């Protein structure tokens, strides 16, 4: 396995080279937003626009990484790292997650729209890799109701560690949780 950083760099380059709309979300985006690595990451979560999904699938298929589809999930593997896609549609009401069953849709409703400003482009760097992320508020909204340990920790980080490493040091969180390695 080449590692998550290698896969992240490759998928970002692919998305950027083809000028596709995307935002990295999940744990990597949270770490990039607050500027510290809070935990090991085993996968990459990315949201893309519905109108560009088949373009992306064709690009990935030609590169030997076709989509896999299970129920409400679309994902693929890049260098043995799972990359899960959230498919959004941009409408006049805002951004809409295409699957009401997706775990990011905590309201479990097909009529929820995120305001456009929550998904405005924000460039961040994670371990030397530059990419686009949505707002902290959007990231928090996708974590609310996530009762997995990492989901609860992500909620705490987004709610209480909104700025940078100095806050972690001030409140004496264990250094290993906030190391930059």
Residue 38: domain span: 4-178
Strand positions, DSSP E, 51-141: 68-70, 73-78, 81-91, 94-97, 122-126, 129-133
Q: What is the pLDDT of residues 12-33, one digit of tens each?
A: 999 999 999 999 999 999 999 8
Q: How many domains does the chain have?
A: 1
Q: What is the pLDDT of residues 84-100, one digit of tens each?
A: 998 899 999 899 887 65
Please report the pLDDT score of residue 144 as a whole number.
77
Q: What is the pLDDT of residues 42-54, one digit of tens each?
A: 999 999 999 999 9
Residue among 88, 3, 9 nearest 41 (CA): 3
Please, are residues 159 and 140 in contact by the beta-carbon 8 Å criterion?
yes
Which pairs with CB-CB distance under 8 Å and at least 24 residues apart come from 52-56? 52/20, 52/21, 53/85, 53/87, 55/18, 55/20, 56/15, 56/18, 56/20, 56/85
Please report the pLDDT score of residue 177 as a whole number.
42
Q: Is the pLDDT of residue 1 over 50?
A: no
Q: Is 176 exposed, middle or buried (0-12, 13-18, 19+ CB in 10 A)?
A: exposed
103: domain CATH number is 3.30.460.40
Q: Is the pLDDT of residue 112 over 80?
A: no
Least confident of 2-16, 119-133, 154-168: 154-168
Dist CA 68 CA 78 (whole Å): 12
Sorted by sequence, the CB contacts under 8 Å of residue 48 that are 6+ apart come out as 15, 20, 21, 22, 56, 85, 86, 87, 88
């Amino acid at each position: 396995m080449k590692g998550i950083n290698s896969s992240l760099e490759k998928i970002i380059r692919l998305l950027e080279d083809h000028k596709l709309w995307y935002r990295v979300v999940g744990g990597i985006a949270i770490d990039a937003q607050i500027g510290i690595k809070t935990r090991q990451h085993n996968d990459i979560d990315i949201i893309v626009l519905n109108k560009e999904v088949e373009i992306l699938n064709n690009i990935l298929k030609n590169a030997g990484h076709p989509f896999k589809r299970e129920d409400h999930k679309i994902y693929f593997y890049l260098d043995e790292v799972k990359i899960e896609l959230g498919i959004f549609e941009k409408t006049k009401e805002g951004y809409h997650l295409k699957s009401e069953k997706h775990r990011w849709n905590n309201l479990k409703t097909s009529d929820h729209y995120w305001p456009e400003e929550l998904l405005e482009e924000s460039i961040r760097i994670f371990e030397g890799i530059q990419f686009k992320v949505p707002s902290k508020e959007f990231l928090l909204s996708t974590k609310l109701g996530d009762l997995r340990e990492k989901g609860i920790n992500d909620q705490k980080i987004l709610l209480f560690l909104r700025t940078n490493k100095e806050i972690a040091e001030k409140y004496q969180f264990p250094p290993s949780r906030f190391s930059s390695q």
